[in-house]
C-alpha cells in the first residue's frame, strides 16, 4: 500500500476519536474486577477489538456518506475528510468500513461463545448503527440524535455490555458508570457539531446546534459535563465512595471546555477543545482505575 494511501486510511479512521471506544471497555473491565474480583483477559481484548473496529467502521461510513450528501464542503473547519477531498474513492472507503464491521463480527463470535444470545442483542444494533448513524432512511446524525446515540451506545450499552461479558451479570453500578462515560463522550459530539454548525445548516444536517443555535448548544455541553460530575455522587450510595474521585477531571477540565465554547467563535480552537474532551475522557478512566485499585 502506498504511503499516501496508508496516510489517507489513517486519516479516515480518525484515531483521535478512539478514546470513546477504548474508555468504556477499559473502565467497565475495572468495575467488573472491583465488584467480583474477576478479570478475563481474552474476553476483554475481544471486547476492546470489537469496540474499536465498530468505531473505525463508523468513521469510514461517516466519511463516505457525508461526502455523498454534500456535508463536507470547503467551509469545513475540522480535519480533512478523505472522500470529499479525493484522497480515497467512496468505493474504497465503504469497502474499508465493511471490512472493519466483519472484523468486529469476528471478535463478537468469540464473545458469543462465552456469553450466548445476549451478545446478539448488544452487538447487532451496534453493527447496524455504525452505518445508520449517518446512513439509511433515518440517519441519527442528521436528525439531531447524535448525542442520544452516543450516550446510549458509547455509555450504557458499551459499559453494561462489557461488565456482562466479564461477569455474566447486570449490576446497577454498570448503569451509573455508563451514564458518566456516555455523557463525557457526548461532549465530543456536541463540540464537533457546534464547530460545524454553519456548514451543517447548509447541507441538511439538523444537529442540535443547527436546530437551536449557538447558546443552546453551549448549554447542552455544560449540562452534559455537570450531569456527568453530579452523577459521581451516586458512587457513595452504592458503597464505592472512592470511585467518585473519577469526577475530579470533569471539574478541572470541564470549565475550560465550557469557557472555550462560550467565548470563542467556531474555528480552529474548537479542534483543541475536542482534543481536551478526549483527554478528559482518558483522565476519567485513569483516575477511575486508580481509585478502584487503591480504594
What contacts 42, CB < 8 A, 6 or more positions away? 110
Q: What is the pLDDT of residue 195?
A: 92
In this model, does residue 237 exceed pLDDT 90?
A: yes
pLDDT of residue 159: 98
- Over residues 125-148, mean pLDDT: 89
Cα-based distances in Å from 160 to 156, 176, 242: 6, 9, 20
**Distances 260 to 16, 257, 273, 286, 289 between C-alpha atoms, Å:** 19, 5, 7, 24, 29
Q: Taking residues 281-293, what's their average pLDDT?
A: 97
**Average pLDDT of the segment spanning 176-201:** 94
Q: What is the DSSP letter of 157?
A: I
149-183 pLDDT, tens digit each: 999 999 999 999 999 999 999 999 999 999 999 99
Q: Residue 244: pLDDT above 60?
A: yes
Using left for φ > 0, alpha for ψ between -120 and 50, and beta otherwise, residue 169 falls in: beta
Task: Flag the least confident range among 74-83, 215-224, 237-246, 257-266.
Answer: 74-83
CA distances from residue 8 to 59, 86, 104, 169 in whole angstroms, order as listed: 13, 10, 21, 41
- Grid coordinates of 17: 476519536
Average pLDDT over residues 193-211: 89
Burial 260-281 (b: 16+ CB within 10 A, else e): bbeeeebeeebbebbebbbebb
Domain range annotation of the chain? 3-294
Question: What is the model's pLDDT at position 76?
Answer: 58
Q: What is the mean pLDDT of the chain?
A: 92
pLDDT band at 12 (very low <50, low <70, confident <90, very high): confident
Q: Alpha-carbon distance 136 to 166, whole Å?
A: 33
How far is 16 from 162, CA to CA, in rounded Å?
22
Judged against a pLDDT cut of 80, whether residue 280 lies above it is answered with yes
CA distances from 129 to 36, 119, 190 (A): 32, 16, 19
According to CATH, what is the number of the domain 3-294?
A: 1.10.600
Q: How confident is the model at residue 77 (pLDDT cuts 50, 70, 90)?
A: low
What is the C-alpha separation between 282 and 290, in angstroms, rounded?
12
Q: Is the dihedral of CA 197, 201, 207, 212 positive or negative?
A: positive
Mean pLDDT of 21-29: 97
Tell me which residue of 186, 196, 40, 42 sits closest to 107, measured CA to CA: 42
3 state SS for 12-33: HHCHHHCHHHHHHHHHHHHHHH
The pLDDT score that the predictor gives to residue 83 is 87
**pLDDT the model gives residue 135:** 86
pTM: 0.93
The DSSP 8-state label assigned to residue 81 in this structure reads P
Residue 3 binned pLDDT confidence (cut-offs 50, 70, 90): low
pLDDT classification of 272: cutoffs 50, 70, 90: very high
Say which residues have a Cβ less than 8 Å from residue 289's Cβ, sequence separation at least 6: 26, 27, 30
Amino acid at each position: 500500500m502506498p504511503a499516501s494511501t496508508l496516510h489517507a486510511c489513517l486519516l479516515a479512521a480518525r484515531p483521535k476519536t478512539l478514546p470513546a471506544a477504548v474508555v468504556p471497555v477499559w473502565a467497565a473491565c475495572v468495575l467488573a474486577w472491583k465488584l467480583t474480583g474477576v478479570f478475563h483477559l481474552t474476553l476483554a481484548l475481544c471486547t476492546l477489538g470489537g469496540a474499536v473496529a465498530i468505531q473505525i467502521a463508523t468513521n469510514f461510513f461517516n466519511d463516505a456518506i457525508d461526502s455523498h450528501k454534500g456535508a463536507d464542503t470547503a467551509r469545513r473547519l475540522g480535519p480533512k475528510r478523505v472522500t470529499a477531498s479525493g484522497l480515497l474513492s467512496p468505493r474504497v472507503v465503504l469497502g474499508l468500513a465493511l471490512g472493519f464491521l466483519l472484523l468486529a463480527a469476528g471478535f463478537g463470535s468469540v464473545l458469543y461463545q462465552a456469553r450466548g444470545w445476549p451478545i446478539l442483542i448488544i452487538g447487532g444494533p451496534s453493527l447496524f448503527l455504525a452505518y445508520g448513524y449517518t446512513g439509511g432512511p433515518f440517519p441519527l446524525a442528521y436528525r439531531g440524535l447524535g448525542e442520544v446515540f452516543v450516550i446510549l451506545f458509547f455509555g450504557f450499552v458499551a459499559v453494561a455490555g462489557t461488565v456482562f461479558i466479564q461477569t455474566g451479570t447486570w449490576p446497577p453500578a454498570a448503569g451509573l458508570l455508563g451514564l458518566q462515560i456516555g455523557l463525557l463522550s457526548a461532549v465530543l459530539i456536541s463540540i464537533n457539531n457546534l464547530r460545524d454548525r454553519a456548514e451543517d445548516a447548509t447541507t441538511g444536517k439538523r444537529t442540535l446546534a443547527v436546530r437551536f443555535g449557538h447558546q443552546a448548544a453551549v448549554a447542552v455541553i455544560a449540562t452534559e459535563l455537570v450531569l456527568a460530575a453530579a452523577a459521581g455522587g451516586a458512587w457513595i450510595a452504592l458503597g464505592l465512595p472512592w470511585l467518585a474521585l473519577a469526577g475530579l477531571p470533569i471539574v478541572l477540565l470541564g470549565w475550560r471546555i465550557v469557557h472555550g465554547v462560550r467565548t470563542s467563535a467556531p474555528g480552529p480552537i474548537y479542534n483543541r477543545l475536542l482534543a481536551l474532551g478526549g483527554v478528559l475522557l482518558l483522565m476519567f478512566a485513569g483516575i477511575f482505575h486508580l481509585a478502584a485499585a487503591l480504594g
